[in-house]
Amino acid sequence: MTTNKQASEESTMDLPVREGEDPWTAEEIAEQRAALSEEIERLEKKIAVTEDELSDILKGGTDGAGRDPADLGSSNFERDQEVALAQNAREMADQARLALRLFNEGNYGLCEVCDNPIGKGRLQVFPRATLCVTCKQREERR
C-alpha cells in the first residue's frame, strides 16, 4: 500500500535512465517499488517453506544404521538440494532488500560499481539489479 508521502516522493523522484531511454513515469516508479516489496515477500515465504522442508528432512535423522545405502544417499541428496534452495532464496531476498534500500535512499538505478545508470529496461525485467549489464558481465567472468 502506497502512503500519500510515498506517492508524493515517487512523483518527484527522478530515477536515472540510459541514453535513449524514456524517463521514468510516476506510475512506473510506483510499480518498481511494489515489485521489489512483492519480491521480498515472495522470497521470505519461499525461505520459510524451504526451511520447514529442510527441518522435516533433518528430523528424519541422518543415522544410516539399518538403512539401505540408496535411501541414505537419496536423503543426503534431498537435504543438500533443500540447503541450496534455501541459500539461493536468501541471496535473492538480500539482493531485493538492497535494491529497495537503494530505492529509498534515492540511489536506485545506478550501478554500484561504475555509478552509471543500470537501464530502465533491465530494471523493469530484473528489479533487484544493482549492476549495469557491463559490470555484471565483468563480475561473472571472474
In this structure, the number of other CB atoms found within 10 A of the CB of residue 116 comes to: 15
Residues in the chain: 142
pTM assigned to the model: 0.75
Contact present, 67 and 116 (Cβ < 8 Å) = no
Tens of pLDDT, residue by residue over 25-83, are 999 999 999 999 999 999 999 999 888 887 877 776 555 555 666 666 777 788 888 88
Q: What is the pLDDT of residue 108?
A: 93
